[in-house]
Structure 1
Amino acid sequence: MQSLISNMKKFFIITNEHKDMNLAMTNAISDYIIAKGGTCMHYVSTKSGWRERNLRRFQPSDIDAECIIVLGGDGTLVRAARDMASIGIPLIGVNLGTLGYLCELERSTVYDAIDRLFEDRYELETRMLIKGSSQKDGSGKATFALNDIVIHRTGLPQIVNLIVSVNGEYLANYSADGIIISTPTGSTGYSMSAGGPIVDPKADLMLITPINPHSALAKSIVVGSDAVIDVTLAKRRQEEDEEAEVSFDGDRFVHMKVGDNIRIQKADAHAKILKLNQLSFLQILRKKMQEFH
C-alpha cells in the first residue's frame, strides 16, 4: 500500500468515555505509541463536544498530529470525522461497541495496526460530507454531516408535512415522521433502517429517504451529489403550530417552525479515513451482516 505521509509518528486519540471505562485502552495505546518512539495526545468525546482529560476545551486547529485514532464506535468516528474535516488529518476507528461498518479496527488488531501506520503501510480514502443551512435568517451558516441530516417531528406524536425541492424544482410533499438526507457513508445507518438502499461509500450521490411515510409510494430517492435539496416545514392545520427538528449526525439540533426551510448540499470539505486491509466494500458488508445475525 502507498501512503501520503512519510514516517508517521505523531498521533492523537479521541475516546468515547462511555466505551473505554477509566481510559484503559486509551492509555495502553498511548503508551505503546510512545514506546515505539512516537508522540501521542488524547482527548475525550462527550455529548457536548470534545474535551481534554483536564476538561480544557480545544479547537481542531490545536491538534498537531499525522493520524487521529478514534476509540468508540461508528457514531464516535462519524462525529470526529465531521468535526475534524477542516484540518485534513486522516482518521482510523477502533470499534469498542457492537455492529460497526466504518470502524476498521477491533481491540485485538489495534497494536498491529499501529505498527503498520509507523511503517506507512496504509491507504487513504476520502468520504463525502454534506452541509445544511437554515434559510430563515439569511446567514447561510452551514453545519457539516458525514452520515446524514435528519428533519424529524418533535413535541406531539404526530406526522409532519415536508415539502422537498431539488435544484429549485418541486419533488414531493411527504406526510411522514420525518425525512433523511444521507451520504453514501450514511446509507448503512438511519437511512437503511428507514428502508433506504445500501450504497458503496465511495459513491458520489445523496439519498432522500422518508421516515414512516403515510404513502406506500413514498420510497427512497437517489440524486446526484451536485443537487441542492430544500426541505420546508409546511402546515397541517390552521393553528400552524407544528414543529420539527434538524439533526446533524444525530446531534447539533436546529429547531424548525412552519414555513422554515433548510438547504442541504454537498460540502466542499471531505473526511479522510485510513484503510489498512484490502477488503472490498461488499466483503465488509457481508462480514458485518453475518455478525449482526
Structure 2
Amino acid sequence: MKRFFIITNRNKDPKMKETLRIREYLEAHGGQCKVAEMEKNSGENDSSEYLCEVPDNYECCIVLGGDGTMLQAAGNVREKNLPIIGVNLGTLGYMAEVELSEVEEAMDKLLNDEYEIEDRMMLQGVPCQGEDKGVGTYALNDIVIARCSSLQVYNFNVFVNDMPLTSYQADGIIVSTPTGSTAYNMSAGGPIVDPKAQILLLTPICSHNAYARTIVLSEHDRVTIEIGKGRGGNIQKLEASFDGGKRMMMQSGDKIDITAAKEVTRILKISKESFLNILRKKLV
C-alpha cells in the first residue's frame, strides 16, 4: 500500500502538526499522500457535515480525529469503496484504532501490507410521506428519530417487513448497526455487539412502556417507523438524524424505511487484538 488520502478533524489538530508528521513519515518511506480539503455543507439541516472530494486511485484513507470524524469520513469515501483507518485524537475512540504513540509503527504496517480489512454493515433510511418516497441516506452507526424541541413523549408505530411489531411511547428510537452499538445505543441501555455481526438493533429512548427493551432483527429485515399523533390528535414533529450529521424533519403520519445498505464501510485493522479485549480497555 503506497497511496494514502488523509482526512483530519481540524478542531483536534488545528495546526496540522500530527497530520504533517504522518504525511512526512509516509512520504519519507516511499508513500504518496494527499491531505483532504474540507468544505462545510451549507445546507440548512446539515450544518455539522463536512465534505471533501475524494480522489481516484488511492488505496487507503487515514482519518485523524475521533469516532465522529470516522463517521464523516466513512460517508465521504463510501462511493469510492476506500478502506479507512483512524488515528485517535478524541477520547474513547472505539472506531479509531491507532493511538498517537503508535503512529509510526502503524504506518509501517500499512506500507508493508500487514493489515486486514473488515466489512462493516451500514444502514439506509428512506423517508416516506404518503405514497411519496424520498432519497435514501446512509449511516454507519445509527439512525435516530427523536425530539428536536419541546419536552414531550412521542408515539411511534414500528413495522417489520410491513407487519406491525409494536408501538412505543418514548423520547425517540435508535436503529443501530453493530458498529454503532457502542454509541447512542449503549447510552440508551442497548446491548454491545461485535461490530462484525450482521444484525439491526432497535432501541427505544426513555420509553414509557413498562417492558420496552432492545429488539434484535436480521440484516434482511426492513424496519418501518411511523410517527404517530400526540395527545388529542395533535401533530408531532421530530427529527431523524443519520450518524449525528445529516438531519431531516418528520411529523405525524410520516414514515421511514430502514434496511441494511448494499454498500459497506471497509475498516482497516492492523492489530490482532480481539474486540472484547479492546472493549474491556475502553470501559475501564
Structure 1 stretch 25-34 or stretch 233-242: which is displaced more?
233-242
Q: 1: distance between equivalents of 2:14 and 2:155?
A: 43
On the 8 A contact 1:12/1:63 being kept in 2, the answer is no
Deviation at 1:49, TM superposition (A): 1.5
For 2:99, the aligned partner's letter is E
Q: Which among 86, 90, 96 is matched to residue 97 of structure 1?
A: 90
Q: 1: distance between equivalents of 2:210 and 2:199?
A: 24
Q: Which among 194, 205, 210 is matched to residue 199 of structure 2?
A: 205
Q: 2: distance between equivalents of 1:279 and 1:248?
A: 29
Q: Which among 14, 18, 21 is matched to residue 25 of structure 1?
A: 18
On the 8 A contact 1:81/1:91 being kept in 2, the answer is yes
For 2:275, the aligned partner's letter is F
Q: 2: distance between equivalents of 1:23 and 1:63?
A: 24
**Could you say what secondary structure the match of 2:185 adopts?**
helix
Deviation at 1:155, TM superposition (A): 1.9
For 1:172, the aligned partner's letter is T
Deviation at 1:100, TM superposition (A): 1.6
Uncovered stretches (5+) of structure 1, i.e. residues with no partner: 1-7, 52-57
Q: Which among 103, 126, 135 is matched to residue 110 of structure 1?
A: 103
Q: What TM-score does the superposition give when structure 1 sets the normalisation length?
A: 0.90
Please name the residue that 1:73 is paired with.
66
Q: What TM-score does the superposition give when structure 2 sets the normalisation length?
A: 0.93
For 2:173, the aligned partner's letter is I
Deviation at 1:199, TM superposition (A): 0.7
On the 8 A contact 2:155/2:228 being kept in 1, the answer is yes
For 1:48, the aligned partner's letter is E
On the 8 A contact 1:82/1:129 being kept in 2, the answer is no
Deviation at 1:65, TM superposition (A): 1.1
Deviation at 1:281, TM superposition (A): 1.1
Q: Which among 257, 267, 282 is matched to residue 273 of structure 1?
A: 267
Q: Where do 1:252-263 residues align within 5 Å?
A: 252-263=246-257
Identical amino acids, percent of aligned pairs = 47
Q: 1: distance between equivalents of 2:123 and 2:68?
A: 16
Give the length in aligned residue pairs. 275
**Could you say what secondary structure the match of 2:15 adopts?**
helix
For 1:50, the aligned partner's letter is L
Deviation at 1:139, TM superposition (A): 3.9
Please name the residue that 2:2 is paired with.
9
**Could you say what secondary structure the match of 2:8 adopts?**
strand
On the 8 A contact 2:51/2:76 being kept in 1, the answer is no
Please name the residue that 1:48 is paired with.
49
**Could you say what secondary structure the match of 1:247 adopts?**
strand
For 1:166, the aligned partner's letter is V
Please name the residue that 2:27 is paired with.
34
Q: 2: distance between equivalents of 1:139 and 1:30?
A: 44
Please name the residue that 2:44 is paired with.
none
For 1:168, the aligned partner's letter is D
On the 8 A contact 2:50/2:72 being kept in 1, the answer is no
Deviation at 1:144, TM superposition (A): 0.5
Deviation at 1:110, TM superposition (A): 1.1
**Moved segments of 4+, more than 4 Å:** none
Deviation at 1:157, TM superposition (A): 1.1
Structure 1 stretch 30-39 or stretch 262-271: which is displaced more?
30-39
Q: 1: distance between equivalents of 2:115 and 2:215?
A: 35
Please name the residue that 1:231 is paired with.
225
Deviation at 1:73, TM superposition (A): 0.6
Q: 2: distance between equivalents of 1:123 and 1:48?
A: 29
Q: 1: distance between equivalents of 2:141 and 2:200?
A: 10
For 2:14, the aligned partner's letter is M
Q: 2: distance between equivalents of 1:200 and 1:147?
A: 13
Please name the residue that 2:43 is paired with.
none
Deviation at 1:28, TM superposition (A): 1.2
Q: 1: distance between equivalents of 2:146 and 2:233?
A: 19
Q: Which among 245, 248, 262 is matched to residue 251 of structure 1?
A: 245
Please name the residue that 1:219 is paired with.
213
On the 8 A contact 1:43/1:50 being kept in 2, the answer is no
